[in-house]
Amino acid sequence: MEDGLSPQKITSGLNNRIIGRRVLCYPSLPSTMETARKEAARGAPEGTVIIADEQTVGHGRLGRTWLSPEGSVSLSVVLYPDIAGLPYLIMIASLAVARSIEALTGLEALLKWPNDVLVNGRKVAGILIESSMGGKAVDYAVMGIGINIKVDISAFPEIAATATSLSGELHSSVSRLGVVRRLLVELDGFYKAPRQAIYGEWRSRLTTLGRQVCVVSGGDAQYGRAESVTADGSLMLRADDGSLTKVLAGDISLRDAADDNATR
């Protein structure tokens, strides 16, 4: 395949300090998350990247399905952060994806709290952070990133209304190799960057802030204005009665309040 990925092509000429020093490529995997977890459990070097051309059981949060057909890129990175570094992983991944998209395509990439990357209001990439704790310390964390690069989203009715791809937005082809290489450079640059700077750039790219939103957790829905985000990645939600609630990224879904009202 002209745009085929290989560890050699991906790492050639990159001088990354941590992320991407070791890259493993597979034509197909159930999920790069599981392969990365196994690598971490056997002590893989920090920054090991697992890449699959397609996943057969890709997943998002709470076991939701993540479609990863040919033309997308799915990757997971093995990391050993300290516990204070955990909330920054979602920020680092989001920023690296957004910057890579902008650099390679000129499209504007915005972030929807907590874990979506949007182009023209539709989801082009998803991010999943999983960690394994040993008592109060982090055994390892896995940063998972899926990007729709050369994907015809209309072939997937279940996401056609909410998702997009880089090729679909640009109406031309985009190099998967180019996106992956740039992504690894951005991830490496952010991984040891000052946390205050990471938080500041993440906050500034969040399209969620200032909007009326509906936070859904289990069967509960909370309405309010997305007022701010804290340095641990939580959302501060201002309800109509003036009360302020801190919402953890964990198990929630976020909708525009207007969309939610329309469907009730």
DSSP run (H or E) holding 199: helix 195-205
Q: Does 60 bind ligand ATP (CB under 6 A)?
A: yes
- The mark string for 172-201 relative to ligand BTN (x by CB under 6 A, - otherwise) is ------------------------------
d(CA 37, CA 190): 22
Q: Confirm if 115 and 127 have CB atoms less than 8 A apart.
A: yes
SS3 (DSSP) at 256: strand
CA angle (29 as vertex; 21, 153 as ends), nearest 5: 100
Using rule CB under 6 A, residue 50 touches ligand BTN: no
The type of residue at 184 is L
Does residue number 205 form part of the binding site for ligand ATP (CB under 6 A)?
no
Among 16, 48, 74, 148, binds ligand BTN (CB under 6 A): 74
* Least distance in angstroms from the C-beta of 204 to ligand BTN: 21
Q: Which does 76 bind (CB under 5 to 8 A by kind): ligand BTN, ligand ATP, none?
A: ligand BTN
* Distance in Å, CB of 107 to ligand ATP, minimum: 15
| Least gap, CB of 165 to ligand ATP (angstroms) | 8
Torsional sign, CA 247, 87, 95, 10: negative
Please answer whether residues 89 and 79 qualify as being in contact, where contact means their C-beta atoms are separated by less than 8 angstroms.
yes
Residue 136 CB, shortest distance to ligand ATP, in Å, is 27
In the numeric block, which tokens belong to residue 14?
């990159």
User: Minimum distance between the CB of residue 251 and ligand BTN, rounded to whole angstroms?
Assistant: 13
Greatest Cα-to-Cα distance within the chain, rounded to the nearest angstrom = 58
Angle at 125 between CA 261 and CA 207, to 5 degrees: 50
Nearest residue (beta carbon) to ligand BTN: 126
Query: Where do contacts with ligand BTN occur on this chain (CB under 6 A)?
Result: 31-33, 55, 58-60, 66, 68, 74-76, 115-116, 126-128, 144-146
Query: Where do contacts with ligand ATP occur on this chain (CB under 6 A)?
Result: 60-62, 64-67, 115-116, 123, 126, 148, 159, 163, 253-254
